[in-house]
Structure 1
Amino acid sequence: MTRSTYTVTGMTCHHCVASVTEEISEISGVRQVDVDLASGLVTVTSDEALDPALVRAAVTEAGYELA
C-alpha cells in the first residue's frame, strides 16, 4: 500500500469533499480517500504509487485544483 498527500484548493463545504472523494476514488487501485476540509489536505491510500497526472485530472473533473 502507498499513501500520498495532496493539497486541493477551492473546497468550501462537505459537498466539495464528496465530489473530490468520488472522483479520486474512481482511479484504478485507490483504496481510500481522506479529505480534511479545513486544510485542503487529501490523503490517498492506493495499491501502488499513483500517476500525479491522474490525480490532477480527477481533482479538475471535480471542479477544483491541486495546489
Structure 2
Amino acid sequence: MEITYTVTGMTCDHCASAVRSEVGEVPGVTGVAVDLPSGAVTVTSETTPDEDAVREAVAEAGYELVGRS
C-alpha cells in the first residue's frame, strides 16, 4: 500500500533524509520516498499507517505534514 502526504519546510537532501529516517520508524512502514520540489512524501507500508504516527514522525524531523496528496 502506498500513501502520499504533503510535507512543508523541506529544502535539501538533509531534510529529506531526516524525514525518511523518522517516518521509516513508524510501525508497518516498509519504505519512504521524498520528492523535495513538490514536498511529496510517499509511504509504503504493509497496512494503512497510523496517520497521527506519521504526522508525529514528520514533526520529530522538524517539518509539518499538511495533508494527503
Relative to the length of structure 1, the TM-score reads 0.96
1:42 match: 41
Aligned to 2:51: 52
Give % identity.
Answer: 58
Q: CA deviation at 1:51?
A: 1.1
Q: How many residues align?
A: 66
Match of 1:65 in 2: 64
Residue 24 (structure 2) pairs with residue 29 (structure 1): no
Distance 1:56 1:5 in 2: 12
Q: Runs (4+) of structure 1 moved beyond 2 Å?
A: none
RMSD value, Cα: 0.5
* AA matched with 1:7: T
Q: Which runs of 5+ in 1 are unaligned?
A: none
Identify the residue that residue 18 of structure 2 maps to in structure 1: 19
